[in-house]
Structure formats: structure tokens, C-alpha cells
Structure 1
Amino acid sequence: MTDLPFGFNPSPNPDDRGEGSSGGGNTPPGGMPPGGVPFDMGQLGQMLSQLGQMLSQAQSSGGGPVNYELAKQIALQQLAQSGGAAGADQSKAVADAVHLAEMWLDPVTSLPAGTRVSKAWSATDWVNETLSTWQRLFDPVAQRVSGAWVDALPEEAKAAAGPMLAMVGQMGGMAFGSQLGNALAQLAAEVLTSTEVGLPLGPEGTAALLPANIEKFTGGLERPASEVLVFLAAREAAHQRLFAHVPWLRQRLMATVEEFARGIKVDTGALEQLATQVDPSNPASIEEAMKSGLLEPQTTPEQKAALTRLETLLALVEGWVDVVVADAVGERLPGAEALRETLRRRRASGGPAEQTFATLVGLELRPRRLRAAAALWRLVGDQHGIERRDGIWAHPDLVPTAEDLDDPMEFAERLGGGAELGDDPIAELERTEREEKERGEGGSPQES
């Protein structure tokens, strides 16, 4: 029995040499081994160094389902050639665009400015500033898949693997980290603002635009770069107003994505098939298994319900932003309507942001009913004014439902009934809840 390092094979027996081998037994120092290939000590050192880095990265994952340090390292390495931090001129241009957009937005919405600071981000800035949010979104998916992977192993395989299961978990964390890092690098090279995917990925109160990506985006348009920058700044600033002054919105969006991810169910039959193809000592085999397509999640009824709620809420957010930005810049920017339609198509057709999100979370994050939502907000604003329109965001129970998007006229008429919502929607909602509670307790509602 030999006692050799893991991954190495014993030297061939001199008696088993092929016909082309030279005699003489052991390979002399500096000579040729029996296989005829010179042994490179430099390659051995590189292999050992890479192995050490791999094990160090696996340990640094902290035992979680995803190695986020590895994800960040991969993303930043791929973006190394994309340019450094934004220059002073770019930062000033972004700050001026956001400031101008905020002034234009003030008369068209009752929600005050939500931007505390404006930033010109590079692609690497975007990775650094949004990674903590991606961790919250990606963890439930990875936990479900990695847990299902171990559960699908036959009992005898689990017993035989023993301590190797921990290594498989670490390798799985590295595989997920690699997948996330590659996706974030792709997304960071394309995204225009911090809120482009419809979710508040960046720090609260930070309006962030990516000038280098915006420059590439503008190259395919027949509009001045300054006009495109101000238009995108207005959209970013409008999103920040919603996320800053509608306290429940940020949490509701994120929680609904997490709910969808937690509901993922993996085909255990496919996992059992993959388990026979994976070599725990080879991280590449695990990563290939993750990408094989056999791990496609099965959509459950609970997930479909969560997806409907998320798509409706996204459509309401994007529709509101679409309307207020159109009101703010419509008469000031000649190309506003063309830019508006370009961004609508970019979202509806599944641009880079939507495709990457679908890869990471298994969810096509598209506001499919954006036009219907925009029509509803426009109707409500025209009939009841911007104060009443924006007051709908005061409580999640007041916002339109998917059914309301099907019949916006009925919603607008219902909103106009003073007896139903009153001048103070929150007070009216609290009164209704109090009456329902009293009925549930057997009492009779009191007159207010």
C-alpha cells in the first residue's frame, strides 16, 4: 500500500514499461519519466498554489451556501479592464443631472425627494455596493438547491461520504459563487442605474448612475448624451422617492422575491442522476452539474401566487415612475417619448438585467403589465389629482391589485367614492379594520 498525496498516482512499475520505453528503471534527476514527458516543478508549484487558494476560499465562505468572497473576486477580475472609478467630470455630470431631475419632479408628485447623495458608479462600484442585496436574494435559492442535493443522496452514499459531505458543501458554495460572480460581472457591464431591475439594490437614499454603461447605451440612440443622462437621472430619482417615502415597499419587494425562492422544489430524480456524475474532489464537475439544466426548479402554486404579486407590484412601481417622469421631462426633453419607449422595450424583451436575474434566482423579473399600470396611474391622476394618486402608496392594502389593472376605470371610480376611502385613506383603512375586528369579536361597529 502506498502513501502518496491525494490526486497523485504511483510511478509505473519498471517491468510494465511500454515497448518504446528505455531501460534503466527509475528516472534519473533531470531526465525523462517513463511516459516521455518532462516533469515541470514549476507546474507542480502552481498546482499546489491553486489548491491552497481553492481550500482557503472554501473555508472563507463561512459555511454558507454561497462563497460570496469568491463571487466578488471573480466579478471584479472580469471587470478589471472595464475602467476605474468615475472621473470628476462624470461625477459632476451625474450630480447636476440628478439635481435638475429632482427640481423637475417636485411639481409632478407629492412625494418629496428621496435622494440624499448622488453617485457616479463604475461597474466595480456597482458590484461592491449591491453585493449584500444579492446575498439576500441568492441565499434562499442556493439553500434550497444545496439542501436538496444532499437529501437526494442515497443513505449508503451519505454514510460512505461521511466527512466528504462537508467538502461537497464547500465545493457547492464555490460553484454557486462562481456562477454568481460571472453573472454579476455581466450585469455590471450593462446596467444603467442602481434601480434598473426594479429592485432597490443599492444603499438607501443613493441615486447612482453608471456613466460608462450609459455612454455605450447612448451610442445606439440618436439623442444627445446629456439628454439621455438627465432622463435616466429622473427615473433613478423617482425610484428613490418611492423607496424612501413608502416604507413598506422595499421590504415587500424583497420579501416577495425571497418567498418565491424559498418555494423552489428541485427534481430529486434529476439530482440522483447527477449524483452519479459528480466527483466531490473535482469542483469543476460540481459546477458543470449546476449548469446542466437538470436542476431547473419546478414552479409550485405558491410560487405562481408569489410571482403574480411580485409582477403586479413591479408593474405598479415602474408604471408610477413612467408616468411621473413623463410629466417631469416630457416638455423639456425633445426625445423623452422615444427614450421612454426604448426603456419599455428593453425591459419587456428581457434585457441583460432581466436575463441575469432569471439565471440567478430562477425568476423572470419583468413588469409585464407596465403599460396597464401606467394607464391606471395616469387615469387616477387625471381624475383625482396627484395628491390622491400618490396617497395610494400610503399602505399596501390600498394599492391596486392585478384585477384592478384589468379594469382601471372601475378602480378610479371606486377611489372617487368618498364613503369608501375618504379624504384620509389611512384613517379610513384603520376605521375599516377596527370595524372588522369588532365584528369578529361579536360586537357591533360603532359610529364614527
Structure 2
Amino acid sequence: MTPDRPGDAADNERMLREMLQQLFGDRADEVLAQMRAQGFDPAALAGAGMPDPAMVQQALAQVQRMLATPGEGPVNTDVAHDLARQVAVAEGDPSLTGGQVREATEALTVAELWLDAATGLPPSGGPKHAWSRSEWVEATLPAWNALVAPVAASMADALATVLADQMPGGMDLSIEMPGMPAGALGPLGVGGGLGGGLGGLDPAQLLRRLGSAVFGMQVGHAAGTLSREVFGATDVGVPLLPGPGTVLVPTNVAAFAEGLDAPAEEVRLFLALREAAHARLFAHVPWVRAHLLGLVEQYARGITIDLDALEQQVRDVDPSDPDALRRALAGGGVFGVQPTEEQKATLLRLETALALVEGWVDEVTAQAALPHLPHAVALREMLRRRRAAGGPAEDTFASLVGLELRPRRSRDAAALFARVALAGGAEGRDAVWDHPDLLPGPIDLDDPAGYLARREAQSTAHPDVDAALAQIFAADDDAPGDEPAGGDAGGGDAAEPGDGEPGDGPDAGPSTPGRQG
């Protein structure tokens, strides 16, 4: 290649100055002087073919934001937030009108009145919201970040290991550009003025930070996509709000109602019933929230990362391109394909719990809607099929945490709650939630008709155990040598009149299996 002619060098430097003026304004000449003082050749740099200044500025800003923000966990929440907002508005997210807000809040109010006749659980007591897609993202993203954090920590470490192994020994991670002295930008562009606060990080730290950014992109993309599909804050069956409250997303509700035979008002009221029923359950059965989220966390923490599969997926990916990494990881297949027995048991408990939540909401909503909505049966079936099929955002979260937040057996759970209500009324049906020990299990979903008989058998066996324990304690009291050792301070209380009678034992109260008969 022939060297640049003097005229070409002047033109190249002029092009560079124009680009720097767009980036730095009046400080362009100052930047040029600093470049020359540090050994840069502006003409050679410009002659290499300068990209569009706006693209350069955007790319540098993205790299700086993703790598220079330390974050406080395995998910870069800033990246997740920014991308989720971008995806949420990609198909339009107009501000809600006063009429939309009024219609949504009125529907939630009416739903509470109808539910009062269908369940003994009172209203959640929280505020009634009408949110845009962006507002939904802002309110629920912290819950999604926490949901995927356990597996994100393992993924970040695994990704750092795989990417480091792909690099030749002693490889310098510096970014080089024509006309710049070797190493001027430092590791991954962290020297001089480009990387800002990244100086001093070793490659392992940078790769973990890159993994955190990639997971933030995954979470943001999934949450943003989900914001275009959900009707409220409880669609996935896991509580996403920090406290009580009900939500409708009018834009999504209206889009769903288009083309249906049912009037838009009926659709809105039916969806409001489902949202309010979920909110009542999460607000007034406080252990349900901890139970569900605890199972998700327990399952996620036990996930193993298939390093061979991960290496295969990122083998041809440029480590400096976080979006390419995100697309590679979105394919799934990097989680351990052979779950442990403990994992299988946790997954079964989680799927059962999600099905029970969905089944109870499905049954209660139907009971509340039937007297008021002519299309209640059709809307119920449509929502059942939609919930069972899931969508692209739920598939993305399946690749993120290795499980699907879909209740596969919600129909069986709804049938079980219907049978319990037929035998014991709404009070008996709702009493199933009195304690985690009362929750039906997989065998009950297999045979809903036999659930009450099994519960009755448990309740008749339980007092016998209490009586046997009372007799044991009484025998201990009568044993020689026990009186001087403490008298009434020992087990003597168990021999008081009435002990051992059904319902007086230590498990009397909400956890007594026979309560709902």
C-alpha cells in the first residue's frame, strides 16, 4: 500500500477534527493536541476509515455503561432496566388517557364486589393501578432481577471461565486502533479516557462483569417483551409487587379484546377478576408468597451449568460484543440436563404450587363472573389455553432460570377446588390455604375425587397420635423418681383433663388436616 499523499493526510485530519467536534464540541482542538502529545497520529487514525460519529459515541457509551458500572449483584440492573424500557416501547406505549385509567380502576373495584360473593378472603387492601407498559417494567423489574439472581451468579462465573479458557495464554485484552500507541486504551478499552473507572480490574473481573451485563440484557429483554403481553401484575402466578395492590395494563387488555366475540368491557372485567383474586390470595395467605419464591430460589440455586454446552454456544462469539453473547445464551441448553433427585422434588413441588394458585384463581373467578358476564365460560377457556401455552417472554425466562413458570396442571387443580367447594362450600375450599401442610400434592391432582377421603383418613388418624403421646407423658409422670426431679415442671401438663381429646393436641388450629371436612 502506498503512503498517503500530503493532501490525503490533511483531508483525513480534517475529517477527524469534524468528528471530534461532534463528540466534544469546542474542545476538539484540545483533544487533537492531547492525542499528538501522547503519540497518536491523527492522520493515520482518520485514514483507517472513520465510522459515523454518532455510532462511535453510542457504542462507546454502551460499553462504558455495561463495564464501568460495578453493580451490586450477578445481574447488571442498570442494563436490564434500560433494555427493558426500550423493548417495552418498541411497538408503541402511548400514555394512558384519563378514560383508560378510569375504566381500569372501576373494573378492579367492581371485581372486588363480585369476589366478595365468591370467596371469604377479603380484598387485598392495596391501591388500584392502571399502568402503561413502561410503568409495569419499572414496578416489576426488581422482582425479576431477584428471581434470576441465583442462577445468574453461577452463569457469570461459568461464562468467565469459558471465555478465559478460549483466550491464548498471556493474551493482552487491549483494544488497538490505527495511529495509536500499543496498549493506549488498556485492557478492554479501560485506559486513558475511554473506560473511566475500570482501571485496575484483572481480566477475570472484567469477564464476570461482562457476564453480569449479558444477564442484565437477558432479563431486560425478557421483562420488556413480557410487558407487551401481560394484563396485570399476577399473570405468571408469582407475586411481582412488593406489597398488596391490583393492576391492569389497559393497552394490552384492549389488544387482547380486539377480534373477540365478547365486548371489551366484559373482557376487562374478567381480567380484573383474575387480578383481584390473585391479589387476595397473596395478601391474606402470607406464606404463599414466601413458599413460591422460596421454591424458585431453591430450584435455581441447585442448577448446574453445562460448561461444554456453554463453550459450544459462545465458541464463535466475540467477547467484546455483549449482544452477540446474549443471543447465544438465549438458545438455552447451558443448564445441567440431569437434575438431581432434590431438584426433581423441588420442581414437582413448585409446579404443583403454581397449579394450585392458578386452579384456585380459575375456580373463584368463574364463580364470581358467571352471574354477571354472559361470555364468562368462553373467556375462562381462552385464558386457560393462553396460560398453558405461554409465550416468548416466558420461554426466555425458562432459559434464564431453567424452569417454566407455567402451571401445567391448573385444570386438575381447578377440578379439585370445585370438588372441595361442592362438599364444604367456599369456606372449605379457601381453608385449603390455611397452612402449607394442608396443600394438596401431586397424588391429589391425579385423583381430585379422592382428595377429601384422604384428608378425612388423615384427620381420624391424627387424634389417635395425640392420645398416644398423652399416655406416654402420663406414664412418665407416674414413673418412680420423676416427682422429686421437677414435679409439674416435666410432662405432667399432658395429663390434665381434656388432653388427648381430638382438637386439643399440639397441632390443633389451622394446620389440623381435618378442618375443612
Say whether the fold is shared (TM-score over 0.5).
yes
CA displacement at 1:360 relative to structure 2:
3.0
Does the aligned pair in 2 maintain the 1:197–1:353 contact within 8 Å? no
2:142 is matched with: 132
Cα displacement string for residues 408-436 of structure 1 (whole angstroms, at most 9, x for unaligned residues): 222112445695499xxxxx8x979x98x
Find the counterpart in structure 1 of residue 10 from structure 2.
29
Q: TM-score, normalised by structure 2?
A: 0.73
Structure 1 partner of 2:36: none
- Describe the shift of the 1:70–1:249 C-alpha distance in structure 2 as closer, same or farther (beyond 3 A): same
- Matched ranges for 1:124-203 at <5 A: 124-151=134-161, 163-203=202-242
Shift of 1:271: 3.8
Q: In structure 2, what is the equivalent of residue 226 of structure 1?
A: 265
Whole-Å separation in 1 of the counterparts to 2:167 and 2:473: 58
Distance 1:169 1:327 in 2: 51
Contact kept, 8 Å, 2:159 with 2:207, in 1: the verdict is: no
Equivalent in 363, 380, 392 of residue 323 of structure 1: 363
Match of 1:333 in 2: 373
Paired position in structure 2 for 1:103: 113
Asked if 1:56 corresponds to 2:96, the answer is no
Contact 2:309 2:334 in 1 (8 A): yes
- Tell me, yes or no, if the aligned pair for 1:105 and 1:325 is still in contact at 8 Å: yes
Question: Who is 1:244 aligned against?
Answer: 283
Identity between Structure 1 and Structure 2 (%):
40
Query: Residue in 1 aligned with 2:132?
Result: 122
1:88 correspondence with 2:122: no
TM-aligned CA distance change 1:48 to 1:246, over 3 Å: same
- What does 1:228-377 correspond to in 2, within 5 Å? 228-273=267-312, 277=316, 279-291=318-330, 293=332, 295-301=334-340, 302-352=342-392, 354-377=394-417
Task: Judge conservation of contact 2:66–2:210 (CA < 8 Å) in 1.
Answer: no
Mapped partners of 2:391, 2:325: distance in 1: 29
Structure 2 residue identity aligned to 1:377 = F
Q: Distance in 1 between matches of 2:438 and 2:401?
A: 29
What is the aligned counterpart of 1:413 among 450, 453, 458? 453
Secondary structure, counterpart of 2:247 in structure 1:
strand
Cα distance, 1:222–1:148 mapped onto 2, change above 3 Å: same
Deviations 1:280-302 (A, max 9, x none): 44434533542454524424132
Aligned to 1:9: none
- Compute the displacement of 1:78 (Å): 2.8
Matched, 1:213 2:252: yes
CA apart distance, 1:124 = 0.4
Q: Which moved more, 1:283-292 or 1:335-344?
A: 283-292
Displacement after TM superposition at 1:150 (Å): 3.6
Q: Give the whole-Å Cα distance in 1 for the aligned partners of 2:243 and 2:208.
A: 34
Contact 2:160 2:211 in 1 (8 A): no
- Contact kept in structure 2, 1:256 and 1:306, CA below 8 Å: yes
Name 1:5's counterpart in structure 2: none
Report Cα offsets for 1:28-68 as digits up to 9, x if no partner. Answer: 2115989997844x735752563244223323241522211
What is the one-letter code of the residue matched to 1:265? T
Count of matched residue pairs: 421
- Distance in 1 (CA, whole Å) between partners of 2:46 and 2:169 is 41
| Cα shift readout 1:388-427 (whole Å, capped 9, x = no counterpart) | 22112010001111111112222112445695499xxxxx
SS at match of 2:240: coil
2:500 maps to a residue whose letter is E
Q: Tell me, in whole angstroms, the C-alpha distance in 2 between the residues paired with 1:157 and 1:24.
A: 39
Higher alpha-carbon Rg: 2
In 2: Cα distance, 1:43 partner to 1:383 partner: 72
> Compared with structure 1, are the counterparts of its residues 431 and 187 closer, same or farther at alpha carbon in structure 2 (3 Å cutoff)?
farther
- What is the RMSD of the two structures over their aligned residues, measured on CA atoms? 3.5
Contact 2:303–2:339, Cα closer than 8 Å, also in 1: yes
Alignment partners' CA distance in 2, 1:183 and 1:381: 38
- Output the CA distance in 2 between the equivalents of 1:353 and 1:431: 50
Runs (5+) with no aligned partner, structure 2: 14-42, 173-200, 478-490, 502-517
Moved more, 303-312 or 287-296: 287-296
Corresponding letter in the other structure for 1:239? H
Distance in 2 (alpha carbons) for counterparts of 1:197 and 1:114? 18
Check whether the contact 1:63–1:170 (CA below 8 A) recurs between aligned residues. no
Which SS does the other structure have where 2:288 is aligned? helix
1:418-429 correspondence to structure 2 within 5 Å:
419-420=459-460
Q: CA deviation at 1:349?
A: 1.9
Is 1:66 aligned with 2:119? no
Counterpart position of 1:380:
420
Question: Whole-Å Cα distance in 1 between the matches of residues 473 and 153 of structure 2?
Answer: 43
| Contact 1:115/1:207, CA 8 A, preserved across alignment | no
The answer to whether the 8 Å contact 2:157/2:208 transfers is: no
* Structure 1 runs not aligned, ≥5 long: 1-16, 423-427
**Structure 2 CA distance for partners of 1:74 and 1:377, relative to 1, 3 Å:** same
